[in-house]
Amino acid sequence: MIWVYLALAASASALLLALFYAQQVNNADPGNARMRELMDAIRAGAMAFIRREYIAVAAFVVVLATLILIFLDYGRPWGAIAYVFGACLSALAGFVGMRIATAANARTTEAARTGGIKAALPLAFRGGAVMGFTVAGLGLFGLSIGYLVFVEWLEVDQAFSVLTAIALGGSTIALFSRVGGGIYTKAADVGADLVGKVEAGIPEDDPRNPATIADNVGDNVGDVAGMGADLFESYVGSMIAPIAFAAFAFAGYAFQEEAFFYPLMIATLGMGASIIGSFLVKPGKGSLAAALHRGTYAAMGLTVVGVAILTPVMFNGLEGVDNSWGLVVSVVTGLLVGWLIGQISEWYTSDHHKVVKEIARQSQTGPATVVLAGVSEGMKSAAFSVLVVAIGMAGAYWGGDLAFDVEFAGIYGIAVAAVGVLSTLGITVSVDAYGPIADNAGGIAEMAGLPPEVRETTDALDSLGNTTAAVAKGFAIAAAAITALALFFTFQQAVVDAGGELMALDILDISVIIGLFLGAAFPYLFASLTIQAVGRAANQMIEEVRRQFREIPGLREGKKDAKPDYERCVDISTKASLREMILPGSLAVALPLVVGFISVEALGGLLAGALVSGFLLAIFMANSGGAWDNAKKFIEAGAFGGKGSDQHKAAVVGDTIGDPFKDTSGPAMNIVVKVMTIVSLIFASAFV
């Protein structure tokens, strides 16, 4: 029991740190009246969107909670309560992150104006850290308090299945936040870029562009709230998988209780390490990237040391434990997989490396060659990423098998490797959420008419933010793949526990073959639906921006009395994204339910096909999109003709194609594979 209370203490520490950083951000100077006006407009648009999104999603939550009540014995009422609890925690994390991110943008701009990089970087990071430690703190708190309430205090029937419902609640919010936020941000971004940069020939974030405020709002709803909800769900799901698996597979063994608590302790150690690492993020003599990496690497190193010390303390001397160091191998393997996937993403998306420079060079022959280069490099990155994950899973399986002299020990090793990937979530999300704050800061600098050197400072922060965002997306996808695999194995055990037979996916079984094909096809259908949604929403935005340029006298010329209607563009993106998110999000939940009630074997094939196909597609889309984005920014920095050149226009086309790839369809894909698996796990007893 002491382990659970340690986890609660770690979650409380994270939330207190988030509060501390929030106070530091709020105490900073937001700048002049124009900067405050722009900050308030962005905040109002962001909060209006998230409020309307949560109202829309609430209806879906009610429907799914009702299904849990009807079809599942443990759902009456505890499963339904746990599900709603998880959804509320995920929504709260997104709301808090959004509030502070929209407060940090103008303050970062003012810090860049008065103190340059050394003042702006720590402030932007602290704004992101509020999101990071809120997500991690609420995730660890939710699961720890859920364990105490449902397992220890109430001792409810099928308590570990009830715990799993917490993860499903987080998954529901994450799915719609990613899809809805992604559609919003890319509709605004595409509209702003195509009409503003390409047609009107005006700079990015120019106040004459009516879509500018909507674009800045989108950075927050997609990359702050969306990413936060995504990783909250991965974080909780990664801990649920080994706990639930141990409940099903290790019954009667002396080490079962320790196997329950071990994922919580990995997260606890990672939380402490992330807190320490966050204080190390400050500009030094090295590059800006080095300042951010310093905190991340310190957190990883401290986590490894902590796990190496703790694991023997928890497991040595227990019957059935052969070598507890095997679990250390599994956890460290998970950490390394997450890091390596991030490094692959950085190699393919950072303008410090040759891939992005080569894509930028292709702009000399037009947009077609830019697109072809981005597609090919994205495909190549997917192949290397799969290789890393495959080797990592083999290492984690071996570690689990080394640790325990029981059947399925290797699968437990894979499950704790997923926890290892996400153990330093606090600082990982902090580094990612820093990016949209820096992007917004640059937009405010441009719209407020600040001196060029301020925009140069914010552009440097933004360029780094694009790379950290790409790294975080790769990291999130790797975490999703391993977490989904662990949840799949847990689903198999849940089927057995419910009276079914352990599934061995026989590819000669027609049900499995059909499931495999359906599962492999679904990520493509999902990507198609979300890209089409962005296209339809973007068309509305493009027409509105063109209308305002055409009908508002002097707007294109920048006359003082010509004011664009920013609110109209914000409203278009909001309505379009909320309307378009319903179908793809609902299909991701409905498909495994329909297939599961028809055939459990087909469902197994469905989940396997979706996992492999979805992982590959997510990596390809995220890295292609990131590469196109930074190739455009590389040209904007002065290469190959610079801003306004034909090469720049070609790169903008590539970036426009990449926008829904990297910020809508790609990031949502990792939630899809987890949602499908966890829905199957939750309803396993109803399928048998």
SS3 state of residue 321: strand
Tokens describing residue 390: 């495959």
* The total number of residues written for the chain in this structure: 688
* Nearest alpha carbon to residue 327 among 390, 241, 236, 404: 404
Q: What is the mean pLDDT of the chain?
A: 89
Give yes or no for residue 20 having a pLDDT over 90.
yes
What pLDDT is attached to residue 554? Answer: 85
Contact between 676 and 482 under an 8 Å Cβ cutoff? The reply is no
Residue of higher predicted confidence among 466 and 399: 399
C-beta pairs of 38-42 under 8 Å, 24+ apart in sequence? 38/106, 38/213, 38/443, 38/444, 38/447, 38/448, 39/102, 39/103, 39/105, 39/106, 39/444, 41/213, 41/566, 42/102, 42/105, 42/213, 42/216, 42/217, 42/220, 42/440, 42/444
b (16+ CB within 10 A) / e for 646-680: ebbbbbbbbbbbbbbbbbbbbbbbbbbbbbbbbbb
Name the pLDDT band for 277 (thresholds 50, 70, 90).
Answer: very high
Give yes or no for residue 198 having a pLDDT over 70.
no
User: Phi-psi category of 642—alpha, beta or left, where left has phi over 0 and alpha has psi -120 to 50?
Assistant: left
Task: Pick the range with the lowest mean pLDDT from 64-73, 359-368, 633-642.
Answer: 633-642
User: Phi-psi category of 204—alpha, beta or left, where left has phi over 0 and alpha has psi -120 to 50?
Assistant: beta
What pLDDT is attached to residue 612? Answer: 93
β-sheet bridge partners, residue 321: 404
Residue 60 has φ and ψ, to the nearest 5°, of -65, -40
Give yes or no for residue 219 having a pLDDT over 90.
no
Q: What are the distances in angstroms from CA 63 to CA 79, 175, 426, 685? A: 14, 15, 32, 19
- pLDDT single digits (tens) 100-141: 999 999 999 999 999 888 889 889 999 999 999 999 999 999
User: What's the rounded Cα separation, in Å, for the pair 106 and 26?
Assistant: 11
Place of tokens 């994205």: 378
pLDDT over 70 percentage in the chain: 97
What pLDDT is attached to residue 470? Answer: 66
SS3 state of residue 404: strand
User: What's the rounded Cα separation, in Å, for the pair 417 and 577?
Assistant: 35
Place of tokens 């994922």: 263
User: What's the rounded Cα separation, in Å, for the pair 391 and 646?
Assistant: 44
Give yes or no for residue 502 having a pLDDT over 60.
no
- State which H helix or E strand residue 535 sits in: helix 510-551
SS3 state of residue 280: coil
Tokens describing residue 11: 């979650």
Task: Pick the range with the lowest mean pLDDT from 228-242, 261-275, 469-483.
Answer: 469-483
CB atoms near residue 44 (< 10 Å): 15
Residues 6+ apart with CB under 8 A from 537: 183, 184, 186, 187, 572, 573, 576, 577, 580
pTM of the predicted protein model: 0.91
Torsion of CA 231, 235, 240, 242, to 10 degrees: 120
Residue 408 has φ and ψ, to the nearest 5°, of 70, 15
- What mean pLDDT comes out for the span 527-538? 89
- What mean pLDDT comes out for the span 434-441? 86
Contact between 400 and 414 under an 8 Å Cβ cutoff? The reply is yes
- What mean pLDDT comes out for the span 434-452? 88
What pLDDT is attached to residue 466? Answer: 67
User: What's the rounded Cα separation, in Å, for the pair 125 and 107?
Assistant: 12
Residue type, 447: M
User: What's the rounded Cα separation, in Å, for the pair 64 and 200?
Assistant: 47
Contact between 281 and 125 under an 8 Å Cβ cutoff? The reply is yes
Give yes or no for residue 342 having a pLDDT over 80.
yes
| Upstream peptide bond of 660 is cis (omega within 30 degrees of 0) | no
pLDDT over 90 percentage in the chain: 49
